[in-house]
Structure 1
Amino acid sequence: MRKILPISLVIVTLVLVAAIVSSISRTKTVDWAESFNERSNKPYGTSILYKELPKLFKDYKVRTVYHQPDSYLSAHSADMYGEFIAEGSYIIIGNSDYLTDSSSNELLHFTSSGNTLFISDYSFPQKILDTLNIELKFIENKKDSISSLSLKGIGIDAIKIDKNIGDYYFSDFNKENYTVLGHSKIDYKHVNFLKIPFGAGTIYLHTEPKAFTNYNLLKENRYQYTEGVLSYLPENDIFFDSFTKLQTPYYADVEKDSNLKWFLEQQAFRWAWYTALIFGVLFMIFNAKRRQRIIKIITPLQNTSVAFVKTVSNLYFETKDHKNLIDKKTTYFLEKIRTDFHLNTSKLDDEFIEKLAAKSGKKNEEVNGLINYISWLKTEHEVDEAQLIKLNKLIEAFNSK
């Protein structure tokens, strides 16, 4: 046993030195390919959006479609025999050029029957463009790689998108019947988001799919733009298109490869894995002798919720950033209204007040005072503590039974 120990230590030392040298010499690269794959955690995958969809559309099903729309939608229509009839919003993020004319026609029929079609891509199938009489153009970003995005009607403006060589935009469309919902800006503003009535349904076309990727959802406040775009979709079932991603070799790797294989392909992780195995074998060799199990002392978990709340409240009290706190309380309150009462909070007008009063069981005067006060606070650049306290009292009064 004493002779084995020095040899084992030499082996472990050599493995550790090799692992350190290989990790130092290894250059880490990032894959910036725009796959828009809902299972990809790379910068331009959409795994975060895909995981958040069930939370954004509570009480509704999110189905992933791995087939051409013509076969999937026709199979789940009133004329065919399926387990259900497809009704809701059909979402395509990137790579929409795979759509055949037959699939485009089926999507248009699906929309005209009272459903919603949402496509975010740099370009769209020619069949859809011709049917809607829309033209696209491209503007190159010659100064830098940054575009500025904005949405109309919901107070989202100047959200930056970087690593952008240029923008596609709608250069010609029916300005009388189509509604402009958003713009992108390189040198000047151009339309990048349209709402199009089609039959009994609605089509939404958007030309910046990178806004839905992991990189931009985790970057600064850009998630607000994505939330704003999706807020235009009605509250119903979601059909998330994944047919084009299924056809790519990358997707096949995601489906078939194990997590361990991915780790072993990373040189630093591979050496760490082998080192752990060697240490595990050595541990079993030198600890083969029976030992009494150590009795662990389990410390009861502490409830730190109150301490956390005190810390956060002290932070806001010291900074006196009342405007920031008002914005957060307003955002949380409106999100609660959308979740609890299924109301669109993009326009806080008299119609919205009447609907909220009817659904909440509150008096019109109480709801009117709260909503008008929130609308007034949004226009103010500077607020004081008294206005924050008043808003808090109004919200608490509304939430009380």
Structure 2
Amino acid sequence: MKKTFPILFIIAALIITAAIAFGIKSTKTVDWEESFNEKSNKPYGVSIFYKELPKLFKNHKVRTVYHQPASYLQAHSEDSFGDHIAEGSFIIIGNSDYIEDDSIDELLHFVDSGNTLFISDYYFAQKIHDTLNIDIDYIENTKDSISYQSLKYFNLNDIAIDRNEGDNYFSKIDTVNHTVLGHSKIDYKHVNFIRAPFGKGNIYLHLEPKAFTNYNLLKEDRYKYAEGIISYLPENDVYFDSYTKIQTGYDGNVEKESNLSWFLEQLSFKWAWYTTLIFGLLFMIFNAKRRQRIIKIIKPLQNTTVAFVKTISNLYFETQDHKNLIDKKITYFLERIRTDFNMDTAVLNEEFIVKLVSKTGKKKEDVKKLIDYINWLRTKNEFFEDNLIQLNKLIEAFYLK
């Protein structure tokens, strides 16, 4: 072992020297990608705004929506299988063009029922344009990269937004029904924030999503502009859209990322980590040969069935393979129905529910809720932890009652 110390010392010195030299020569570039992701700490992420939402809406729930609005709002409507009824303000920051037509319909129904929809983006789905009778145009910034934002009914100085090559603005609105709430100025003032009543609720459309990003909230007093915009929304529960961020592919696996990823982005931490790994590898190489033979310990045979099941389930759960787990839970549940009650499970319709109720003596509403949820899961391509937990609760409730 003493002979290996000089070799390890020389290798360590070379690694540290290379790390220092690389650190001096390399410069970290800033990622200006407009992700509008609530988990991103980059300049144009919205993690600061997202973390401040509970403070802005005190005594109200702030929920993050990882599904298409249609599936989420339908699941959390009256007489559905969600754990609450969705009521309040639905907030979308950036990337709203990924929302499908059926989700637009569901959002409009959500507003028509007396709720609020707030979208801040450069443009909106065509269905929103057609429904609200609006048009959006673009003005190029030919002088510099700064545009000035202002809010109506607020004693607030014009807020500068830099790195702006141009502005989108409403070139057409319904002047009778729509209310102008804010302007942007490049050469001249143009409308960039309106309120449009729809049914019993209101739709707020804003055309400068960068106002909610980390870069602008931390610079000077620009946070006051974002604060003023949000103050128009009613005091109620908030539903923050994250599904559109997943669809863009930017930080799409943000919930599945290891915490190590942030450290690997930091040059010093990265080289410290690599150095540790190399030293560990060298230590194993030079100490691979033991000085004394291992004394074999013979343990009695154990029943490892439960441990095996736990290991396999933990493996699926930790790898976030929700689809596989959900498929298996449904398969095992239906197999037990076939075995215990001698029923055909090929078609899970109303007739199947009535027959299962008569054989099990369970309440029809409980059985129907479980079977409807299984049928709904079979129509989905993307699954989340909440789906697995809800399915497990319904199956356990079926056997307990």
Q: For the residues of structure 2 that align with 1:234 and 1:126, how far apart are their CA atoms? A: 26
Please name the residue that 2:91 is paired with.
91
Q: In 2 relative to 1, CA 67–2 (structure 1 residues): closer, same or farther, beyond 3 Å?
A: closer
Please name the residue that 1:136 is paired with.
136
Q: In 2 relative to 1, CA 33–114 (structure 1 residues): closer, same or farther, beyond 3 Å?
A: same
Please name the residue that 1:73 is paired with.
73
Please name the residue that 2:126 is paired with.
126
Please name the residue that 2:116 is paired with.
116
The letter for the 2-side match of 1:136 is I
Q: For the residues of structure 1 that align with 2:263 and 2:152, how far apart are their CA atoms? A: 45
**In the comparison of the two structures, how many residue pairs are matched?**
284
| Residue 190 of structure 2 corresponds to residue 190 of structure 1 | yes
Residues 169 and 191, structure 2, Cα contact 8 Å, conserved in 1: yes
Q: For the residues of structure 2 that align with 1:263 and 1:89, how far apart are their CA atoms? A: 36
Please name the residue that 2:227 is paired with.
227
**SS of the counterpart of 2:252?**
helix
Matches within 5 A, 1:43-54: 43-54=43-54
Q: For the residues of structure 1 that align with 2:8 and 2:80, how far apart are their CA atoms? A: 69
**SS of the counterpart of 1:255?**
coil
Q: In 2 relative to 1, CA 203–181 (structure 1 residues): closer, same or farther, beyond 3 Å?
A: same
Q: For the residues of structure 1 that align with 2:130 and 2:276, how far apart are their CA atoms? A: 60
Shift of 1:252: 3.3
Gap regions ≥5 residues in structure 2: 283-401
Residues 92 and 118, structure 2, Cα contact 8 Å, conserved in 1: yes
Please name the residue that 1:169 is paired with.
169
Q: In 2 relative to 1, CA 10–71 (structure 1 residues): closer, same or farther, beyond 3 Å?
A: same
Residues 95 and 248, structure 2, Cα contact 8 Å, conserved in 1: no
Residues 137 and 168, structure 2, Cα contact 8 Å, conserved in 1: yes
The letter for the 2-side match of 1:184 is S
Q: For the residues of structure 2 that align with 1:246 and 1:26, how far apart are their CA atoms? A: 31
Matches within 5 A, 1:240-319: 240-264=240-264, 266-275=266-275
Q: In 2 relative to 1, CA 259–123 (structure 1 residues): closer, same or farther, beyond 3 Å?
A: same
Q: When the two structures are superposed, what TM-score results if normalisation uses the length of structure 1? A: 0.66
**SS of the counterpart of 1:252?**
coil
The letter for the 1-side match of 2:173 is F
Q: For the residues of structure 2 that align with 1:250 and 1:203, how far apart are their CA atoms? A: 27
Please name the residue that 1:24 is paired with.
24
Q: For the residues of structure 1 that align with 2:109 and 2:86, how far apart are their CA atoms? A: 12
Q: For the residues of structure 1 that align with 2:6 and 2:149, how far apart are their CA atoms? A: 64
Please name the residue that 1:102 is paired with.
102
Shift of 1:98: 1.2
The letter for the 2-side match of 1:181 is L
Q: For the residues of structure 2 that align with 1:206 and 1:59, how far apart are their CA atoms? A: 26
Shift of 1:211: 0.4
1:65-97 Cα shifts (integer Å, max 9, x gaps): 111111111222225343221100000000110
Shift of 1:6: 4.6
Q: For the residues of structure 2 that align with 1:77 and 1:7, how far apart are their CA atoms? A: 68
**SS of the counterpart of 1:254?**
coil
Please name the residue that 2:371 is paired with.
none
**SS of the counterpart of 1:250?**
coil
Gap regions ≥5 residues in structure 1: 283-401
**SS of the counterpart of 1:273?**
helix
Q: For the residues of structure 2 that align with 1:250 and 1:33, how far apart are their CA atoms? A: 9
Q: For the residues of structure 1 that align with 2:5 and 2:73, how far apart are their CA atoms? A: 67
Q: In 2 relative to 1, CA 194–15 (structure 1 residues): closer, same or farther, beyond 3 Å?
A: same
Shift of 1:36: 0.5
Identity %: 68
| Residue 211 of structure 2 corresponds to residue 211 of structure 1 | yes
The letter for the 1-side match of 2:52 is E
| Residue 158 of structure 2 corresponds to residue 158 of structure 1 | yes
**SS of the counterpart of 1:74?**
helix
Q: For the residues of structure 1 that align with 2:76 and 2:192, how far apart are their CA atoms? A: 32
Shift of 1:101: 1.8
Residues 22 and 267, structure 1, Cα contact 8 Å, conserved in 2: no
RMSD of aligned residue pairs (Cα, Å): 2.3
The letter for the 1-side match of 2:208 is E
Q: For the residues of structure 1 that align with 2:182 and 2:34, how far apart are their CA atoms? A: 22
**SS of the counterpart of 2:38?**
coil
Residues 36 and 93, structure 1, Cα contact 8 Å, conserved in 2: yes
Residues 12 and 278, structure 1, Cα contact 8 Å, conserved in 2: no
Q: For the residues of structure 2 that align with 1:142 and 1:241, how far apart are their CA atoms? A: 34
Q: For the residues of structure 2 that align with 1:130 and 1:274, how far apart are their CA atoms? A: 56
Please name the residue that 1:202 is paired with.
202
Please name the residue that 1:382 is paired with.
none
**SS of the counterpart of 2:13?**
helix
Q: In 2 relative to 1, CA 281–72 (structure 1 residues): closer, same or farther, beyond 3 Å?
A: closer
**SS of the counterpart of 1:44?**
coil
1:215-242 Cα shifts (integer Å, max 9, x gaps): 1111111111111100111100000011
Shift of 1:7: 4.3
**SS of the counterpart of 2:33?**
coil
Shift of 1:27: 2.8
| Residue 50 of structure 2 corresponds to residue 58 of structure 1 | no
Please name the residue that 1:314 is paired with.
none
Shift of 1:262: 4.0
